Structure 1
Amino acid sequence: MAAVTPRVFVSHLAGVPVFDPNGDQVGRVRDFVAMLRVGGKPPRLLGMVVEVVSRRRIFLPMTRVTGVESGQVITTGVVNMRRFEQRPTERLVLGEFLDRRVRLVETDEEVTVLDVAIQQLPARRDWEIDKFFVRKGRGGALRRKGETLTVEWSAISGFSLEEHGQGAESLVATFERLRPTDVANAMHHLTPKRRAEVAAALDDDRLADVLEELPGDDQVEILGKLKEDRAADVLEAMDPDDAADLLSELPEADKERLLALMRPDDAADVRRLLSYEERTAGGLMTTEPIILRPDATVADALARVRQQDLSPALAAQVYVCRSPDETPTGRYLGTVHFQRLLRDPPFTLVSSIVDSDLVPLTPDTPLPAVTSYLAAYNMVSVPVVDESGSLLGAVTVDDVLDHLLPEDWRETDFQGEEGIAGGR
């Protein structure tokens, strides 16, 4: 009899690259598809959900997996690029099994599933769920109390029942290495119930980052399921322009109620953005660019540019203005580009190296004119000033792209390729 392959825990495979036999990366593992079976048999593992380069999620049958090694999955060269659609008889292992509360058959004690082990059957290409790593009590992965143990499928019950109030700590733990846009993509493919549970488990800053990358419908759905105080906290953690875009999708009464719960300074920024037409420089801009006084030095500017939470577009330049240092500021004097900061000594005053030749935009500048400005001058960000010359904010190229692409671009593939090989 052939030796049984070592078991692998699925949390260790979440996000790992999938390669073809030539060593070219096909995509990354996002979940596993299992089918429950009658007669007490362990669930059969049908395949993997793989996210390819275009962000499309495809189904990769386990029969086409030739190796599951440390940090990678090897597959045959035949891949079906048809978009994955979950069937009624199928269960997603990461999305639906982790954090599920089940019971030990022997003691009827409640346990929470922290991880799932899979194993290839001897002398076959079939895979099945082998064991479950569980914690006694009602805690998830982030709760340290309670004994943990590894049990067989036959030792637990409860997977055939619909789960109410399922936690999400273990699933969230598998998202830790992912960028916000990838977490958003994963959440978009969850059920509304599971999406709400994951949102509840994310901290405010992480949820804010993820919300900014989700389609508008998902944003509204998730925000509507949060308690109002927490919804206001998450809106405060979002970039003001993204928070304004989200609030603009809500009924007027809900919008005003959430604005009233936000900190006054944050609410004021968002209200100011909501006062502009959507497809104008004022409606597109962020109110939090890097602003320095004329007596600041290149060293001061570089310190601000190095801030980790800044987007690359905002970090590409600093804006020099008279006091105050926050929008709307005193008189706008000019822009200092990042490359110029790298060429001058640290003690140089930014006021001596400002680029004042480019005319800033007014808040009522329409989107086509903003786009043309960025393209004509090869800029990634452009200042927006009012009629008195005070800096109101900056429009970045990523915000412009958001409005140039189709409304459902976050829900579609980066590319339109269609697969040709095989079927499920």
Structure 2
Amino acid sequence: MCGMAAGAPRIFVSHLTGVAVFDPNGDQVGRVRDLVAMLRVGRRPPRLLGLVVELSTRRRIFLPMTRVTGIESGQVITTGVLNVRRFEQRPTERLVIGELLDRRVQLVETGEEVTVLDVSVQQLPARRDWEIDRVFVRKRKGGTFRRSKGETLTVEWSAVTGFSLEEQGQGAESLLATFEQLRPADLANVLHHLSPKRRAEVAAALDDDRLADVLEELPEDDQIEILGKLKEERAADVLEAMDPDDAADLLAELPEEDKERLLTLMRPDDAADVRRLMAYEERTAGGLMTTEPIVLQPDATVADALARVRNPDLSPALAAQVYVCRPPDETPTGKYLGTVHFQRLLRDPPYTLVSALLDDVLQPLEPGAPLPVVAGFFAAYDMVAAPVVDESGSLLGAVTVDDVLDHMLPEDWRETEFHLDAETEGTAHGS
């Protein structure tokens, strides 16, 4: 079938039904039962979000396309841990096999009615995104549809109509499709100005990662309101997808019993990171830091470091440097040895060991360092992120400049900024 290289051939979804899904160790975890796509406004091809996989226990779970490392020779290879919570379809989502196949749609050019027999998916070059790109249809023959008769043809998604979202309409899906290109901060701005009802509808329809990114940009009251309207298991998934420091700040605002219930529902590793952060005073280096900086062992090379820095899920501030530590390389790490700045990585050959490039002059922050000391550190060293190291010499995490600014600006800075934005644009986002 196909690998994941740029320009990968298209795959027709009928070839994927029932295909075995394997984990990185080669063990079969289940079979593909459907594909989940998100329709977009106008004639843009739908984005493929993931696969519905039926486990051997008959439970159906959602496997994001970002976790698929290969689709070839009749099998799907996945990376990482599967979330075994049951698949629940969101309002913006369409099941490709269950809802798009056998539909009657029209050819845009002639208005002729055709039946959808299959659709093909393709990975976009140099990106992790997948799209539905072509539709395989059968024309009507002699006034009736017969599977054995009628001309079949494959056309671009944009050549048929009858699937796509309307340009107007109050459904969360058309609203979301319009907002799809917005940065999280801008989508947060829009969400902030919606009515509570519409805000809850849009939040329910966003995928976990996108909602996590948007929550991090919202004022505290909005965060608490949105989280409170999600089902508890979904709320735990979204908290897992948030940066641990942002999740800790949000949980700290909830009543004790709600906080504990959500922490219990979270994956143990994620919950442990959040609990650790909640143990520090809020306006200290320990309370501001994230527990997920880039950590490398001393025998890693520049090539290894650059591969980690390229991760598109990292913020620019966290990608600006890597921290070199003895094992274990999860925080809290073994002995912290020093920092290597991104620019230094670009100046040295790929095979150079990171341990040879350390900025060991840079003094790390202590977890108890108060906010003014942390801010002074950033100003004095012209840094965008800083290592936080405990008295035993272990790296606990990193503070990024955005979190420092977040806590130094007035508490209502987000609302003020949103208000100014709306005025300067001359538009108000209605509900």
Q: TM-score scaled by structure 1?
A: 0.60
Matched, 1:265 2:274: no
The 3 A distance-change label for structure 1 pair 150 and 412 is closer
Q: Distance in 2 between matches of 1:328 and 1:197?
A: 39
CA distance in 1, matches of 2:207, 2:383: 34
**Counterpart in 2 of 1:181?**
185
Q: Which runs of 4+ in 1 moved over 2 A?
A: 144-151, 413-420
- Counterpart Cα distance in 2 of 1:409 and 1:416: 10
Does structure 2 retain, via aligned residues, the 8 Å contact 1:167–1:201? no
User: Where does residue 383 of structure 2 map in the other structure?
Assistant: 379
Residue 247 (str. 1) matches residue 255 (str. 2): no
Question: 343, 348, 370: which one pairs with 2:347?
Answer: 343
Deviations 1:215-234 (A, max 9, x none): 00000000000000000000
Q: Are residue 355 (structure 1) and residue 359 (structure 2) matched?
A: yes
Check 1:406–1:391 CA distance in 2 against 1; reply closer, same or farther (3 A cut).
same
Alpha-carbon distance in 2 for matches of 1:245, 1:300: 32
Query: Tell me, what secondary structure is at the counterpart of 1:245?
Result: helix
Matches within 5 A, 1:89-108: none
CA contact (8 A) 1:321 1:332 kept: yes
Q: Does 1:311 align with 2:311?
A: no
Q: Does 1:364 align with 2:377?
A: no
**1:360 CA displacement:** 0.6
Letter in 2 for 1:287: T
Query: 3-state DSSP class of the match of 2:274?
Result: helix
- SS of equivalent residue, structure 1 residue 412: helix
The whole-number CA distance in structure 2 between the counterparts of 1:351 and 1:149 is: 54
Alignment partner of 2:398 out of 394, 397, 412: 394
Contact kept in structure 1, 2:297 and 2:327, CA below 8 Å: yes
Query: 1:413, CA displacement in angstroms?
Result: 2.8
Do the aligned partners of 2:285 and 2:368 also contact (CA within 8 Å) in 1? yes
The AA in structure 2 aligned to 1:367 is L
Map 1:48-59 to 2 at 5 A.
none
Q: Does 2:222 match 1:218?
A: yes
Map 1:39-118 onto structure 2 (within 5 A). none
| Partner secondary structure for residue 323 of structure 1 | coil
**1:229-240 equivalent positions in 2, closer than 5 A:** 229-240=233-244
> RMSD between aligned alpha carbons?
3.1
2:3 equivalent in structure 1:
none
Report the AA paired with residue 244 of structure 2.
P
Are residues 191 and 415 of structure 1, via their aligned partners in 2, closer, same or farther at CA, if it must alter by over 3 Å? closer
TM-aligned CA deviation for residue 325 of structure 1: 1.3
- 1:156-199 CA distance string (max 9 Å, x none): xxx9xxxxxx7411111111111111110000000001100000
User: d(CA) in 2 for partners of 1:241 and 1:257?
Assistant: 18
Matched, 1:283 2:302: no
Counterpart of 2:416?
412
Equivalent-residue separation in structure 2 for 1:180 and 1:409 (angstroms)? 17
Classify the secondary structure of the residue corresponding to 2:262: helix
Output the CA distance in 2 between the equivalents of 1:277 and 1:244: 11
Q: Distance in 2 between matches of 1:281 and 1:245?
A: 14
What is the one-letter code of the residue matched to 1:226?
A: L
Identity level (%): 78
* Equivalent position of 1:324 in the other structure: 328
Partner of 2:306: 302
Q: Which residue number corresponds to residue 55 of structure 2?
A: none
Q: 2 CA distance for matches of 1:148 and 1:279? A: 48
Structure 1 residues 352-386: Cα deviation after superposition (integer angstroms, max 9, x where no partner): 11011111111000000000001001011110011
Alignment partner of 1:296: what SS? coil
Which whole-Å CA distance do the structure 2 matches of 1:179 and 1:418 have between them?
Answer: 16
Contact kept? 2:165, 2:174, Cα under 8 Å: no
Q: Report the CA distance shift for 1:227/1:146 in structure 2 as closer, same or farther (over 3 A).
A: farther
Structure 1 residue 419, shift from structure 2 partner: 7.8
TM superposition shift of 1:410: 1.0
Structure 2: distance between partners of 1:339 and 1:201: 40
Aligned to 1:95: none
- Three-state SS of the structure 2 residue aligned to 1:413 is helix
Q: Structure 2: how far apart are the matches of 1:296 and 1:303?
A: 11
